Chains A and B, each alone.
Chain A
Amino acid sequence: MATLSPTLASGDLTSGRLPKFTVPVAIVASLALGYVLASVLGGGNLALATLLAFVIYLVGIEIAARIVEGARQASDHRARNLIVGAFVLALVPLGSVSWEAISKGLARFDATYFSNSMRNVVGEGGGAAHAIYGTLWVTGMASLISVPIGLMTAIYLAEYGGRNRLSKAITFFVDVMTGVPSIVAGLFAYALMSLVFGPGTKNGFSGAIALSVLMIPVVVRSCEELLRLVPNELREASYALGVPKWVTIVRVVIPTAVSGLVSGIILAVARVIGETAPLLIAAGFTASVNNNLFANPMMTLPVFVYDSYAHPGTDIQAYTDRAWAGALTLILIVMVLNLVGRLIARRFAPKTGR
């Protein structure tokens, strides 16, 4: 009987395999080679060395795999290495930012920093209490405005709108809003406040409005997507029990999607909590604690960081240290928010255990 496939003899199910130690050995070897090459070419530039090492590794594994394992495995190695490379590359800025913020921020990460404001401080000492309170007030108020509006808009779009003209228009304008530069949102809030309360009004509420303009579209888009992910069968199951539509949305659809909704909202908060430009215009500067959203300027952490860095007083080092501590605090606030969000999500998430 003639063989159907001449290249694949019967029983030929095995192929060569590179030994397990190949990958670690190749990594070490190509790193060493990369450093040697880089020191010859560019005087020991670390980035150049790593890049060269990666290219050498890529080519080396490709050739070795092609010879030993065959073309398909070689392309598997290539794709995997490129993806891992991209992942590591994406991690570099994250690691670098965390490292810088922690190493430089810890200098002033002390009790005074969290209890004192900058009132009557021009040199050492002082703290960011006013900015931390301000950030919490302004972001909290912005969330209080944006989450209900955004969530209800998302509910309208996902549950009621269908594809009618109004929902198409809303979707279009939400997309436009996503693209509004943050400085424009600040100017809008400032102009609005000036119209209502007289020219030159700067307060925390104005800052919250500016942040809401940025936050609402993010909340709408993420919540809409998540509500659409809830299977229609659950809605039908609820309707078939004689449950009205609004109860179905409140007690079946939202609880099913709640973990995603919470993380969407937290992401939206994280997106605006670091905004500087709009708050610079709308909420203004101050050196004192101000816990009234509706009167007088309110300091926020990003503005504090910017201000400390841009307008250092007599002791530049003290201002720089405070700026870094502010950055670290901001990162920690976002992290805590994320953790809280995850806890809430886990508490309400659909139960899947057996």
Chain B
Amino acid sequence: MSKRIETTDLNVYYGSFRAVEDVTITIEPRTVTAFIGPSGCGKSTFLRTLNRMHEVIPGARVEGEVLLDGENLYGNGVDPVRVRRQVGMVFQRPNPFPTMSIRENVLAGITLNFSRMPKSEQDDLVERSLRNANLWEEVKNRLSLPGSGLSGGQQQRLCIARAIAMAPDVLLMDEPCSALDPISTLAIEDLIGELKENYTIVIVTHNMQQAARVSDVTAFFNIAGTGSPGRLIESGPTDKIFSAPDVRATEDYISGRFG
């Protein structure tokens, strides 16, 4: 289920602009890895290279390697669509499909890919995914109602259920709580703690307390100034990064001296 991600000297470009420079990092399976850093330092951009969502933006390209259990995602003949089926993603703003009901949203990955599945299995999958996303109790009586009728926090958990229904190896989360209130945030953080039993989780967050609460490993990204590329400054066990980082900039950022 859960896979290891390794990147070596990864450079990410938007047209001729280099947004992220020389990132080399190993992300272990069954752990939560948090990316922190000031706005515009390339955390989200880097995250999006891990399931080839980056190239959806016109002019965007990547140099270097991303290995998923040793297999290069950017190798010749790799189909981005197949990559994304193994590496799921949850976005900053909840984005359930407005034309679909709650149930259809959970099954979207299956039905949109034309996979056939008997109804009983579908029911099981819907229940299992929603239970895993801590949403089942709240929506079990209104599965046929539109997903866009839920509250923001519920919508985000619905999006998580939709992502894990695909049984990905890796789950990428791009600031999943930034649009949510503290109670919904807590629900999602609890969920992340449970999900790491089965998935490799990478989370981008602006909230350092959140990084400290949920992650096992923290990676700090920084940018030298506007127009220069973002870099990975250091990464390591969350305890160490938050208590005794090797680099001065990390300590300054975490202690709130800048950023």
Residues of A whose CB lies within 8 Å of any CB of B are 162, 231, 233-244, 247-248, 251-252, 255-256, 258, 348-354
Contact = CB atoms under 8 A, between A and B. Distances in A.
Given A240-B84, A243-B113, 11 more contacts: A236-B89, A239-B56, A240-B53, A240-B91, A241-B113, A242-B84, A255-B99, A348-B99, A351-B145, A352-B148, A353-B149
B68 interface: no
The 10 closest A-B pairs by CB, nearest first: A242-B85, A351-B146, A350-B98, A240-B89, A241-B109, A233-B95, A354-B149, A242-B84, A255-B99, A243-B112
Contacts of B29: none
B13 interface: no
Main secondary structure of the interface of A (DSSP, over half): helix
B81 interface: yes
A259 to B, nearest CB: 10
A230 to B, nearest CB: 9
Given A162-B58, A240-B89, A241-B109, A353 B145 contact: yes
B18 interface: no
A140 to B, nearest CB: 28
27 contacts: A233-B91, A235-B56, A236-B91, A236-B95, A238-B97, A239-B53, A239-B84, A240-B84, A240-B89, A240-B91, A241-B108, A241-B112, A241-B166, A242-B82, A242-B84, A242-B109, A242-B113, A243-B112, A247-B113, A256-B99, A351-B99, A351-B148, A351-B149, A352-B146, A352-B149, A353-B149, A354-B149
A247 B112 CA distance: 7
A237 B58 CA distance: 17
Given A233-B93, A251-B112, A242 B166 contact: yes
Interface in B176-199: none
B218 interface: no
Nearest to B80: A239
A237 B89 CA distance: 8
B241 interface: no
Q: On chain B, which size bracket covers the interface?
A: 20 to 34
B163 interface: yes
B200 to A, nearest CB: 16
Given A242-B109, A243-B112, A351 B98 contact: yes
Contact of B53 (A231, A236, A255, A350): A236
Contact of B95 (A162, A231, A255, A351): A231
A243 B146 contact: no
B50 to A, nearest CB: 11
B81 A242 contact: yes
Contacts of B114: 247
Interface of B: 51, 53, 56, 58, 81-86, 88-89, 91, 93, 95-99, 101, 108-109, 112-114, 145-146, 148-149, 159, 162-163, 166
Contacts of A234: 95, 97-98
A91 to B, nearest CB: 34
Which among B91, B112, B146 has the greatest number of chain A C-beta atoms within 10 A? Answer: B112
A181 B3 CA distance: 63
A351 B101 contact: yes
A350 B148 contact: yes
Nearest to A241: B109
Nearest to A352: B148
Nearest to A349: B99
Contacts of A348: 99
Contacts of A252: 97, 99, 112
Contacts of B83: 242
Given A351-B99, A352-B146, A237 B91 contact: yes
B146 A241 contact: no
Contacts of A235: 56
B171 to A, nearest CB: 10
Nearest to B165: A241
B163 to A, nearest CB: 7
Nearest to B52: A239
Contacts of A248: 112
A210 B192 CA distance: 61
A214 B173 CA distance: 48
A348 B84 CA distance: 28
Contacts of B84: 239-242
Contacts of A231: 95
A242 to B, nearest CB: 3
Nearest to A251: B112
Nearest to A248: B112
A258 B98 CA distance: 12
Contacts of B56: 235-236, 239
Given A236-B56, A252-B97, A348-B99, A241 B162 contact: yes
Contacts of B98: 234, 256, 350-352
Q: Taking each of A239, A240, A242, A352, which has the highest tally of chain B beta carbons within 10 Å of its own beta carbon?
A: A240
Contacts of B53: 236, 239-240
A353 B146 CA distance: 7
Contacts of A350: 98-99, 146, 148
B175 to A, nearest CB: 13
Contacts of A241: 84-85, 88, 108-109, 112-113, 162-163, 166
